[in-house]
Structure 1
């Protein structure tokens, strides 16, 4: 399906995370180890926050591994918070408006997974989107639909509750259409300050998702790793699959859970769909 990462912490050049790790997202675009597909070449996107607090987005339909524009900005753009996504289409068109991350105001959203038999539910889900938000939908993916349903259900006020109501709505309509397991998702969403990451599937067999260990713990384990000396204790990564094999660096997000990366202590909670 797809691979993605979310970074929050000490401002870094995008290159530091996108290209330099042994199993970077660029490497995963060709050699994914934990994804459904080994190759994720149906487009890519990067979203990052500038000094004014608003996100910029670069998206393209080509594969990430040979995109000169991505390579160029990665060497020059520095940010304390960014999303990156490589796409493997689940059936919708390979076009720029279908590439992640999706943006609405200060919010960014990206997704790995699918709404099963999306074509059966598409009309009903569209009709539930707030009319004031509807014209913001540019593409044809289930991922963007999930974002706009979450916005409709109060994402800007209550991200976990809105995502739970979105998931509950997808499952309800899916079951009405005879779809046994309607939803598969790992989702990241941010307002530019906090990052929420969700791992859930109707079948209870969700796509892989990991978060990095505390930097102060890793410094103790690996005092010779230069990167760990350069970043703050609050630096954190959330990834579809680990960027390397540094012992103790990666922890699996539990099934049916979500976490919040935020100033101060990060938190983990259980996740379950709710009625909208």
Structure 2
């Protein structure tokens, strides 16, 4: 399955300090994921993608570059008209410039660890906001159009996980979309359909995803993310219901079975009722919303961590850690797996919750309260399903326990004998925005 990494900071960081230099960087994770519990160690070699936002504000370039045409128009007018004409044309230039401001996107279908262009780009580029993704395909062929992150104007989106029985609900996704957002989907993945659905819902709430400024605010993005998850969750239930009905008919209705091809019979036999794993990340270039979600009340979602502080420092070659010299965050990292082995630097995001990173790097945590929300803070979710999918790592700070509650003291291969569980604190419901969980 996939892995992703997010950086947001007050100051730009050299991308190589995140992508290539750390011992457990996302590039190294793509072929050597140390935290996966399963022995298969699946390789993320089906392409990668990088989206990074420019560090220069549009207004700077606008002040430097006014066209001769605009200046001529202003100079030929009376003094009384010059000020208003200057303001009018400047606003148009600002709008045009902001229209062009979005992330730079770099994608390739070669393995991330073997791409010289990526190494050079990471070494020579700095950014205050970066999304990176390595892919192990579940749906869709090997092509750049299927590589994350996906982008529409200022909005960038990526996904780790999968929509359960996606082939059975793909048409529902596409039928839901307006024509404009239907055409966003260039590839064949469930993830890109989820992105198109997100943009469609944003538009249906009265916001223009293609507008020039492109800043929607964290509350709007969080609301749209909740609705996106809600619709996918509902369609997952429909898909699982179809799977159950087809299996029942195959076993009990000989007439139904005779009408099916051998390929279709095999497909029904191999299909399973499963939850959807929806670890999403979206940004408008200013705020970031990240979900860690699974449509199950008992299973653990794919692993997801965050780290925040003042500076990300390399002590020795390849050994980084997060320095904290102030209560206020200057930078935030979010990663499917920690990119360092400094256990105290990383915190697991609770399952079925949203992490919000504001413009000033403030972090908020919100629970997703639905039928899969666990009110009991002591409840231990089963990570067996995510482990079998290659999505689960042990939590460095917490105990790993087996189904009987026995603590497994180390992360040796003996862990693989168990259907491992990990202790996560539940987030209490919020009465209002004022009770956001500030970190």
Per the normalisation by structure 2, the TM-score is 0.57
Bigger drift between 111-120 and 31-40 goes to 31-40
Q: Over alpha carbons, which structure has the higher Rg? A: 2
Distance 1:135 1:238 in 2: 30
Give me the whole-angstrom Cα distance separating, in 2, the residues matched to 1:90 and 1:226.
Answer: 33
Greater mean alpha carbon deviation, residues 100-109 or residues 158-167: 158-167
Q: Which residue of 1 aligns with 2:158?
A: 110
Structure (1/2) with the larger strand percentage: 1
Q: Residue 224 of structure 2: which of 162, 165, 172 is its match?
A: 162
Give the distance between the partners of 1:40 and 1:81, measured in 2 at CA.
23
Contact 2:308 2:329 in 1 (8 A): no
- Name the CA distance, whole Å, in 2 between partners of 1:240 and 1:38: 14
Distance verdict in 2 for CA 1:59–1:124, change over 3 Å: same
Alignment counterpart, residue 192 of structure 1, candidates 278, 282, 285: 285
Query: What is the SS of the residue equivalent to 2:293?
Result: strand
Displacement of 1:25 in angstroms is 0.7
Give the root-mean-square deviation of aligned CA atoms: 2.6
| Residues 1:245 and 1:211: Cα distance change in structure 2 (over 3 Å) | same
In the alignment, the residues of structure 2 paired with residue 266 and residue 208 of structure 1 have an alpha-carbon distance, to the nearest angstrom, of: 18
SS of 1:132 mapped into structure 2: helix
Give the equivalent residue in structure 2 for 1:38.
42
Does structure 1 residue 91 correspond to structure 2 residue 92? no
Partner residue in 1 for 2:15: 14
Deviation string, structure 1 residues 173-231 (Cα, Å, up to 9, x no partner): 22223164442121111111111110000124200000004338x99xxxxx7874899
Relative to structure 1, the CA distance from residue 134 to residue 226 in structure 2 (aligned partners, 3 Å threshold; closer, same or farther) is: closer
Q: Which residue of 2 aligns with 1:222?
A: none
1:175-254 matches, within 5 Å, as 175-177=237-239, 178=241, 180-203=273-296, 204-215=299-310, 228=323, 233-254=329-350
- Taking structure 1 as the reference length, the TM-score comes to 0.89
Question: Unmatched 5+ residue regions in structure 1?
Answer: 220-224
Q: How far apart are the structure 2 equivalents of 1:227 and 1:215?
A: 7
Residues paired across the two proteins, number: 269
- Aligned 8 A contact 1:117 1:182 in 2: no
- Consecutive unaligned residues of structure 2, counting only runs of 5 or more, are 59-100, 204-208, 210-215, 244-272, 314-319, 372-439
After TM superposition, the structure 1 stretch with the greater mean CA deviation from structure 2, 2-11 or 46-55, is 46-55
200, 204, 213: which one aligns with 1:152: 200
- Larger helix fraction of residues: 2
